[in-house]
Amino acid sequence: MMTRRTRVALPALLAVLLASLASGQTRPKNVIIMISDGCGFNQIDAAGLWANGALDREVYRQSGWTRLAMSTYSADGTGYDPTRFWADAEYAKQNSTDSAASATAMATGTKTYNGAIGVGLDKKPLVNLCQVAEKLGKASGVITSVPLSHATPAGFLAHNAGRGSYAEIAREMIDESAADVVMGAGSPLFDDNGKTREKPDYQYVGGDKTWAQLRAGRAGGDADADGKPDPWTLIESKQQFEDLASGNLRAKRLFGVPQVATTLQEGRAKGAPRNDNVPTLGVMAQGALNVLSADPDGFFLMIEGGAIDWAGHSNLLDRSVEEETEFNQAAEAVVKWVEAHGGWEQNLVIVTGDHETGYLCAPKPEGGKPNAGTRLTGNGKGQLPNAEWNYKSHTNSLLPFAARGVGADRLAQMAVLNDPVRGRYLDNTDMPNTVRELWGLGQAEPAGNKPPAVKSAATKAAEKAAADKAAADKAAADKTK
Ligand SMILES: [Zn+2]
């Protein structure tokens, strides 16, 4: 029964509803993609068992999130075949992507060769999500716990045929991009323990001249010139990052380089206490969100926990769980921010990785093979879980994928394939294609498990070698018949 009160309130409610529909509430105002570099399902479990003594506390497994899996292979690979993956322990080591190709796929929707930063197989530049955001009048930014010009942030902001051209990549980010926030390790003046270096190394920040311009507040634009981006405000000290996060420091365009060389924490000496002169990834994320949310049109932000991969390459379980825990804390900071700024009706948050590193599995049975599908068991909070590494590099494993907010349901529709162990999965290229669709730019088609449209020279050569060998084997077999 309608009371007089509701009769009055209903038209007002309807007006609000219509206004919100008209303002495009089906479109996320802000999109935040969080990438845990090198993190697969078992790294998450390992970190949960270590940090909480229990599984299932991370966003990947919390209710409210759309939880899927994601394939990651690059154009140098031949795709992901669930049947082969779960039948053959060696298959995981084949066809893997690197961080550059994966970041490019997640930023542009195009599969490319390993090592490519924002360029296709033809080495021509592709449009990344930061550029899409800027075109829509939104702000954009990238932040990471490894050097700011490293593969993942570079793939979201720069264009270069080779991921190793750090200085060139940094200069593109600083001098040519329209981004509003760039933060990451790579200080020229500090080592991995946060101590002053004897000899500066300027490669990650674009060279000594660019660094001098950053420090002078002159890099990236001219404050007096119309139509040009504003110059970067450079921050370096832990206190400045904390002030930015708490709102005590403001900047239009923010360039943050913590006082450490290649990683916030992972690269410090064995057994050393945590570097205490650098911010956490969570504090960096809060600061970045403060700067970007000043844009009334919204923003795109990529947040990378970059060193889970480095711990995986080194097969260091203690550093892996520490890094993944810091990433999880950054995710919690993002969730808190979202809930205080428009909630899940205005924001879309995606939490995933770029590839698994180290083939981390539960201990093998005597004489058996590694099985990534066996759940890890723990030894209590603060103790390393029962797990072992089976590789020193990247694998072609599916990754955890979690999304929440406006458009999470649309991402679920992209997961058209099924894995017997991980369940429904989408491809890493589905992510940017869906974000573009959500922002009103075209329609996304699920990638499925299509092989790359154009194969790279390396893939073609490998296929030809395999075909030649098969032909030779067949000829030899025919002879003996
Ligand atoms: Zn790696």
Q: Kindly indicate the confidence band of residue 222, based on its pLDDT and cuts at 50, 70 and 90.
A: low
- Give residue 354 CA to ligand 1 midpoint distance, Å: 9
Distances (CA, A) of 177 to 118, 231, 269: 13, 12, 35
Q: Are 52 and 46 in contact (CB under 8 A)?
A: no
Element (H, E) at 290: helix 281-292
CATH 3.40.720.10 fits 27-450, yes or no: yes
CB proximity list for 439: less than 8 A, separation 6 or greater: 27, 28, 31, 132, 136
- Give residue 199 CA to ligand 1 midpoint distance, Å: 27
Other CB atoms closer than 10 Å to residue 50's CB: what's the count?
Answer: 24
Q: Kindly indicate the confidence band of residue 453, based on its pLDDT and cuts at 50, 70 and 90.
A: very low
For 302-319, the DSSP string reads: EEEE-SHHHHHHTT-HHH
Which tokens sit at 340?
A: 């205080």
pLDDT mean over 234-262? 97
Q: Which residues pair with 353 in a beta bridge?
A: 36
For residue 156, give the DSSP letter. Answer: H
Around ion ligand 1, residues with a beta carbon closer than 5 Å are: 309
- Give residue 103 CA to ligand 1 midpoint distance, Å: 12
The confidence score (pLDDT) of residue 1 equals 33
The confidence score (pLDDT) of residue 3 equals 33
Mean pLDDT of the chain: 90
CB proximity list for 389: less than 8 A, separation 6 or greater: 312, 315, 317, 358, 359, 360
The confidence score (pLDDT) of residue 5 equals 38
Q: Which residue has the higher pLDDT, 469 or 130?
A: 130
- Give residue 36 CA to ligand 1 midpoint distance, Å: 11
Domain coordinates of the chain in residue numbers?
27-450
- Give residue 49 CA to ligand 1 midpoint distance, Å: 23
The confidence score (pLDDT) of residue 221 equals 73
- Give residue 356 CA to ligand 1 midpoint distance, Å: 8
The confidence score (pLDDT) of residue 8 equals 41
What pLDDT, in 10s, does the model give residues 9-59? Answer: 455 555 544 544 444 458 999 999 999 999 999 999 999 999 999 886 666
Q: Could you give the CA distance from residue 286 to residue 55 in angstroms, rounded to a whole number?
A: 26
CB proximity list for 62: less than 8 A, separation 6 or greater: 56
- Give residue 99 CA to ligand 1 midpoint distance, Å: 6
- Give residue 341 CA to ligand 1 midpoint distance, Å: 34
pLDDT at 296 over 50: yes
Given the structure tokens 């504090």, which residue do they identify? 283
For residue 152, give the DSSP letter. Answer: H
- Give residue 92 CA to ligand 1 midpoint distance, Å: 15
Q: Are 396 and 85 in contact (CB under 8 A)?
A: yes
pLDDT at 472 over 80: no
Closest CA to 428 of 356, 363, 338, 333: 356
- Give residue 94 CA to ligand 1 midpoint distance, Å: 14
Q: How many residues does the chain have?
A: 481
| pTM, to two decimals | 0.89
- Give residue 419 CA to ligand 1 midpoint distance, Å: 24
437 SS3 class: helix
- Give residue 185 CA to ligand 1 midpoint distance, Å: 16
For residue 255, give the DSSP letter. Answer: E
Pairing of the two strands 299-305 and 394-395? unpaired
Which tokens sit at 15?
A: 């007006």
The confidence score (pLDDT) of residue 217 equals 93
Which tokens sit at 150?
A: 């490293």
- Give residue 52 CA to ligand 1 midpoint distance, Å: 26
The confidence score (pLDDT) of residue 465 equals 72
Phi and psi angles of residue 54, each rounded to the nearest 5 degrees, phi first: -150, 160
- Give residue 38 CA to ligand 1 midpoint distance, Å: 6
- Give residue 98 CA to ligand 1 midpoint distance, Å: 6
Burial class (CB in 10 A: 0-12, 13-18, 19+), 77: buried
Q: Kindly indicate the confidence band of residue 276, based on its pLDDT and cuts at 50, 70 and 90.
A: very high
- Give residue 392 CA to ligand 1 midpoint distance, Å: 9
Q: Could you give the CA distance from residue 288 to residue 348 in angstroms, rounded to a whole number?
A: 16
Q: Which residues pair with 302 in a beta bridge?
A: 33, 142
For residue 178, give the DSSP letter. Answer: -
Q: Could you give the CA distance from residue 150 to residue 167 in angstroms, rounded to a whole number?
A: 10
Q: Kindly indicate the confidence band of residue 229, based on its pLDDT and cuts at 50, 70 and 90.
A: confident
Q: Could you give the CA distance from residue 58 to residue 40 in angstroms, rounded to a whole number?
A: 13
- Give residue 357 CA to ligand 1 midpoint distance, Å: 6
- Give residue 259 CA to ligand 1 midpoint distance, Å: 23
Q: Are 446 and 473 in contact (CB under 8 A)?
A: no
- pLDDT > 90 fraction of the chain, expressed in percent and rounded: 81
For 94-133, the DSSP string reads: SS---HHHHHHHHHHS----TT-BSB-TT--B---HHHHH
Q: Could you give the CA distance from residue 207 to residue 172 in angstroms, rounded to a whole number?
A: 12
The confidence score (pLDDT) of residue 4 equals 36
| DSSP E strands, 207-248 | 233-235
Which tokens sit at 430?
A: 């589905």
Distances (CA, A) of 389 to 324, 342, 360, 363, 422: 16, 42, 5, 9, 20
pLDDT at 62 over 70: yes
- Give residue 413 CA to ligand 1 midpoint distance, Å: 30
pLDDT at 318 over 70: yes
- Give residue 399 CA to ligand 1 midpoint distance, Å: 14
